Amino acid sequence: MTADRLQPQRLLHRRVVVKVGSNVLTGGEEGLHTPTIAAIATQVADLVHRGAQVALVTSGAVAAGRHRLREIAALRDVDASKVAGRDVQSRQVAAAVGQSRLMALWDALFAEAGVAVGQALLTRGDLADRLGYLNARNTLLAMLDLGVVPVINENDVVSVEELQDARIGDNDNLSAQVANLIDADLLLLLTDIAGLYTADPRRDPNARLIESVERIDDAIEAAAAGGAGARGTGGMTTKVQAARIATGSGTHVVIADGRARDIVLRAAAGEPVGTHFLPAGDRIESRRRYLLSGLQARGRIVVDAGAAGALLRGGNSLLPAGVLRCEGTFQRGDVVQVVTAEGRHLASGTANYASDEVARIAGKQSAQIADALGYEFGEEVIHRNNLVLV
């Protein structure tokens, strides 16, 4: 199936995280392989033009940096091993050198396709911290709403975990966290083989592709066991770990060959490609249960009739103009209940502002938030993406 034949109405997944591994980005060679990267950028741009929202998690910074450092070493007649070593510090240096080159290439290729991109460098700490998680979620969702493709990578310069132990902080697991962060429909893990096999197909000629996985059990984990590729920090084990994380929140996961023709488009259309891990839970219901749980609520925000009507019609954020008052003490990022003046529970959501801040901006227009507080975290008290109706 070619991109020209894929019609917009055939897209099954509308919010997609695409993770591209180093072995795909380098073509198995030294440095970045521009034709392969261009093919992926073109497909992602095609999805964006058709109304899909796509976040891209990219490896390749270390590989790009090593290639550049070897070029510099050759010009200076220096032993390349001294500038492109395998120790943690050398890899962090390579990441620092390569990240800008990697991002510049993605930016240029997406620009040719008429799509804007934005860089997001994350660490595990960013997502473990409540406020960091909320800030990252709101920023990524705002980018997606604007048709911007977030280009995401582990911040290798400061994130030692990834460089020391791929099982802890690799981009496979980062992509699963991003999928959960933005409530993605599909996580597509692009690697240099067709999917998960019963054994390593490069060593066992009898290895068989596992086309569908309903449950990740001991047999699936055993099939995934093995080392990383020559230039990657992950392997099939970390991809299955990522699949476990994402499917647990209701996201479809596909592991496929990133070099295959139109692989991004075909996966988004729901074609049976690679290995498909089926969701282990319902994403919407999982989020509803979390936000609507009485144990999670830290306080209540009381709204007027106009705001209540806007919320009940669906698709609206809660703005400060409709807030009458707040009850209880809560912090930015806490789950709160939204209630009417009569106490009717309308919705629950994640607050953009702490209770004392909500009290100071209640009844004001969004444009007045900065004047009232001296700063702002957005024009909404609760963004619609962080709000669930009862």
The answer to pTM > 0.85 is no
pLDDT tens per residue, range 314-323: 778 999 999 9
Contact (Cβ atoms closer than 8 angstroms) between residue 146 and residue 25: no
Cα 23 to Cα 14: distance, rounded to the nearest angstrom: 27
pLDDT tens per residue, range 109-140: 999 999 999 999 887 667 766 677 778 888 99
265 and 295 share a domain?
no
Domain boundary among 233, 251, 281: 281
CATH number at residue 258: 3.40.1160.10
Among 163-167, 240-244, 353-357, which stretch is predicted with the lowest mean pLDDT? 163-167
Domain boundary among 262, 281, 300: 281
Question: What range does the domain containing 326 cover?
Answer: 286-389
215 and 354 share a domain?
no
311 and 272 share a domain?
no
270 and 301 share a domain?
no
Domain boundary among 281, 307, 331: 281
pLDDT tens per residue, range 29-55: 778 899 999 999 999 999 999 999 999
298 and 237 share a domain?
no
248 and 290 share a domain?
no
Per the structure, the count of domains in the chain is 2
Cα 141 to Cα 138: distance, rounded to the nearest angstrom: 5
User: Phi and psi (nearest 5°) for 122?
Assistant: -120, 155
159 and 242 share a domain?
yes
pLDDT tens per residue, range 83-117: 666 667 777 888 888 889 999 999 999 999 999 99
Cα 145 to Cα 148: distance, rounded to the nearest angstrom: 7
pLDDT at 8: 44
